[in-house]
Structures are given as C-alpha cells and as structure tokens.
A and B are shown apart, each in its own frame.
Chain A
Amino acid sequence: MNPEKIESPTIDQVGVEERVAKLKSRSIKKDSKVHALKMAMSMIDLTTLSGDDTPGKVRQLCYKALHVHDAYPGLPTVAAVCVYPSMVKVAARHLEGSGIQVASVATSFPSGQSNLSLKLEETRYAVEEGASEIDMVISRGRFLAGDVQYVFDEIATVKEACGKAHLKVILETGELSTLDNVRRASDLAMHAGADFIKTSTGKIAPAATLPVTLVMLEAIRDYYYETGVKIGMKPAGGIRDSKTALQYLVTLRETLGNDWLSPDLFRFGASSLANDLLMQLEKQRTGRYQSADYFSLD
C-alpha cells in the first residue's frame, strides 16, 4: 500500500478546542459517576517505565494490579501492566491466569532512534518473554522529515513481528507539533496495522491532552466507517485524577459511541490515576473525602 495515498483531512484546531471545552463541562454524578469510575479503573494500564525498575518494583506493581483495593467489594481489576521488555518475564509470572494483560514497550522506547532490525529483535524478545501487548513508538524524526513510507513500513513490520500480540502505536503527539500531523500519523498507523493508537510515551510534556485525543478518536471513527475495523485508543501520561479521566470517557462516548466503552478498545496509560479513582469511589461510598494516607503508595 502506498501511504502517500492515505487521505487525511486537515484539522480545525479552534473547532477541536471548542468541542473539547463543551465536553469538559459535562457533569456526571451519583450512580453514573460510580459506574464511570469503575469503568475507568478497568481500563487502566498500570505502568512503570523507569531506569530504576527492579523485579521487586514490578512484582509490587503486579500485586497492586491484582489487589487494587480489597476493601472495596466488586471492584474491577485493571486491564494490564505495562513494563520494559526486561521486566516482562517477572510481570507475566505474577499475572498468570489473572486475565490481566502484560504490555511491554518496545522499538527503542521512548525515542525510537535506532535501526529497524534492533527494533524488531526487541519486539520479538518482548513477545517471547510473555508480553501480550506491544507498545511501539513511531520514528517521529522520519515522520516530521516527510518520510511517511518509512514510518508506515516500520509499523507494518513491527506488527508482523508481534505475531499474536496486540500492537499499540505511540505517536508521541507532544513531538508532532500540530493536530494535522496527529491526524496524519493516526491514519498512517491504523492503515499500517495498529490495533491501538496511543498518544504519548509519558516521557515528554505535553503528554496526553483532550484535543489530541479527540482528533485521534475522530481518526478512529473515520477509519471504522471506511473499513469496518474498530481500532482502540490509549491516552497516556498526565492523566492523574478522576475528573480528567471522566472527561476522556465523555469524549470517547460522544465520539465513538458505547462500543468503545470497554478495556478492549480504550485504555488509560497511567499509574497514579488508580489511587485517585479509588479515593473518589470511597468518597461516593462513605460520603467522606479521602486521604492518600489510607491507600497504597504508587
């Protein structure tokens, strides 16, 4: 396929921001709020991606994924745990049989500045270690230089290397500078075989924002109309509180409808969000504003 032929509409930035502002003003209360908070919890990819990750730290994160807050009956578990390839084995061992997925970043995360064969090697390694989801980064440098063919082929080959594993393609929108580029990169990734498109690595600011997410969701909608294939969405980085998470869910529901309100098609890349959701759920249950003192450390 010739990626030059993929048509992307231009984005009306003012219009996007206006729509987002409108969606942000939506207020969700009581039972609907509890439902939404639980849904957001079930969509979290609990993430630890730092140089000082140790097997112990990853084990602890897996424990948290399995026991988010045992004191709250009927709480859903998170969707996945997201780690570096070297930690996949540890995570996979601890999450075996739980239904929680193991996601691994790959392809020289976070910069993506390496050659293709190394990236493929890393992808295969992560899958062999037990990752069921791969979060790859695109080569932003190549994309910005106009070499869309390279970016397209890279995504397609990594998808091949993933085998059965799901592929999430990180656009790193903070480095793409315009919403037009975000839309173009989204279309490129979906046509090249992405199962999910993801906003950011979480390593640079700005990470996920609502306008960027809306543009990507609209790209997913148009791709669905064109091909009938449902692509997932994952905003990542900077989503720390329940209020923001609910704004994302509203935007999702209003753009793609109820089908996408599922961890199969929407994820939050976050770690501190889980505790804030818990604190809000406990607030709804007990009527008391909660304190971080009574919840696990992240």
Chain B
Amino acid sequence: MAEKKIKSTEIESSNGQVHASGRVLVDKTYKLYIGGAFPRTESGRYTPITLNDNSVVNICEGSRKDFREAVVVARKAQSGWSKRTAYNRGQILYRIAEMLEARHAQFVDLLEQIGSENPAGEVDASIDRIVHYAGWSDKYQQVFSTVNPVSGPYFNFSVPEPTGVVAIICPQHNPLLALITNLLAGVVSGNACILIIPPINGAVAITLAEVLHTSDLPGGVVNIITGSEAELVPHVSGHMDVNAVVYASDHQDILRLIQSESSANVKRVIARQYEDWSDAELEGPYLISDTVEIKTTWHPIGQ
C-alpha cells in the first residue's frame, strides 16, 4: 500500500476540529454507564446528535438488554449501598458536588452546545441541589419515622427503608438539573438507580457519569442508559426486579403505559412533571419519601 503523507493542516478530527497548533483534537466516545464501567450498547446502535457548533456526537441507543444488565448490577450493588451509614452516603453524595464544581465550565459548555437557555444557572442550581440532598442523608429518617401509640406493652416504631432498584426516566428539558434532582432523591436513601436519558442529553449525562465515577460512589449504584424512552419503557415497567419507576418526562400516554405495565409486580410509579426543575418544591425530604418503604416493628417493653 502506498504511503500517503498528510500535512498537519489537512488533518481534521471527525468533528472537523483542529487545534491552532495543528494538532488533531481527540473526540470523546460517549458510551453507557453500567456497573461502574463505560460499556458500549449491546445493540451497537447510535444516534448522531448535532450540537450548536455543528459538530456531531454519537450517543448510544441503549437496548432492552443494556437495561437488563443494568438491573442485575443495580440489584447487586443496592444492598451494600443501603448498608452504609447514612452519614457515609451523605459524604459520598457531597463529593459529587465537589467533583461537579471542578468541572463547572465543561458542563456550562455542554449545556450551551445542546441549546439550554441558562447553562450557568442550571449548573449552579445542580451543584446546590446535590449539597441539599447530601445533607438530608441522615436527617430524612427523623422526619418520616414515628413511634406509634399502641394498646399493649409494646413499643411500635415505623421507619423508612429504601425501596430497592429504582428506574428514573429523565425529561429532555433541564438536562442536568432534572437528572440530578431525581437521582439524588433516589440514591440518598440507599436505592440503586437506573437512569434513562433522551439521546439529546446523552453527552451531559455521560459526562456526569465521569463525575459520579470519581466520587467514591460504588459501581452499580447509579447506571445511565441513553436511548429512546418509547422503546425502553415497556421493558422498564415490565421488569419484575425493578421496584419503582420515576417518570419525570412528559408524555401522558407513556405514563399511562408505565402505570398499567407496572401492575405486574406492583411497582411504585411516581410521576414528576415540572416545567422548571429549579422549582423550590423539589427540595425538602418529600421526594426522598417517594422511594422509601415504611417498615413497622413491634418490640416488647422491658426486653
């Protein structure tokens, strides 16, 4: 084969970007985030997303099998995560905020590229929200636990426990803030979460996965699958090993489908539909209470 000499000025990265020095820029391959690793989708499918600067990124179109793998690793990771002390979970979640702060500019840029209205404001709000939920990790229990009056020589306590494996279907608007809010409200109590992200937000979500990955969050506690909501939802809501579905996107017909399919194993279905995810209603312990189960214990007095 004849060797072809290429002048540095001719070299372009696939996005057509060449550094001023003539160096080819290295593009990032956006993959999925499952079990603390970044695998490609099993299906081999990609959705090309054109960014505002006309460059193109390929986002994985996750399949039902990617979701199946994510459930397996989430189930494995969940018990260990929920057994950590609440304080330790808080520390780890707080570290996500630290990591995100350091990447502030990168996320502002990414949000700009997909046409967000107020990128800097959204990144600020997201970091603050992480800190907010990290703080709740050892406090929401006091809000929801009760000592119940009973007729008899017993103590009777009700305490919240994590629901288990929670699937979260994220909306297209507020790519970072909606994701962070739903994710943090889920993992803070000890759930393992699987996020379904619309491809347009894929670059933001998978870059956030890098942040999560460096925050001491055990592998499998958070899993991110980019792909079509309509394709994945039947498998999400039909899966017997998913304990709750948070539907934060805004298609009423898909929500109804989730509600009817989820009856098979009586999943919790939580619908969260907000036009603006910076809404103050989204702070406080009540989102956390959506994905906990209340366990009541009887204990004889004097033993």
Contact = CB atoms under 8 A, between A and B. Distances in A.
A291 B266 CA distance: 13
Interface of B is mostly: helix
Interface string A264-298: 00000000000000000000000111111110000
Contacts of B213: none
Interface of A is mostly: loop
Interface-central residue, A288, A292, A293, by most chain B CB under 10 Å: A288
Contacts, number: 23
Contacts of A288: 238-240, 264
A280 to B, nearest CB: 11
A290 B241 contact: yes
B71 interface: yes
Size band of the B side of the interface?
under 10
B272 interface: no
Contacts of A287: 238
Contacts of B239: 288-289, 291
Interface-central residue, B68, B238, B240, by most chain A CB under 10 Å: B240
Interface string B66-80: 001001000000000
B238 A291 contact: no
Size band of the A side of the interface?
under 10
Contacts of A290: 240-241
Contacts of B264: 288
Contact of A292 (B68, B235, B238, B241): B241
A289 B235 contact: yes
Nearest to B67: A289
B43 interface: no
A292 B147 CA distance: 33
Contacts of B235: 289
Nearest to A292: B241
A291 B71 CA distance: 10
Nearest to B65: A289
A294 B240 contact: yes
Interface string A133-160: 0000000000000000000000000000
B244 to A, nearest CB: 13
Nearest to B234: A287
B265 interface: yes
Nearest to A288: B238
Nearest to B241: A291
A292 B76 CA distance: 12
Contacts of A293: 240-241
B159 to A, nearest CB: 21
Nearest to B235: A289
23 contacts: A287-B238, A288-B238, A288-B239, A288-B240, A288-B264, A289-B68, A289-B71, A289-B235, A289-B238, A289-B239, A289-B240, A289-B241, A290-B240, A290-B241, A291-B239, A291-B240, A291-B241, A291-B265, A292-B241, A293-B240, A293-B241, A294-B240, A294-B265
Given A287-B238, A289-B240, A290-B240, 20 more contacts: A288-B238, A288-B239, A288-B240, A288-B264, A289-B68, A289-B71, A289-B235, A289-B238, A289-B239, A289-B241, A290-B241, A291-B239, A291-B240, A291-B241, A291-B265, A292-B241, A293-B240, A293-B241, A294-B240, A294-B265
Interface of A: 287-294
Which 9 pairs, one residue from A and one from B, show the smallest C-beta to C-beta distance?
A: A291-B241, A291-B240, A289-B239, A288-B238, A290-B240, A288-B240, A289-B68, A289-B240, A288-B264
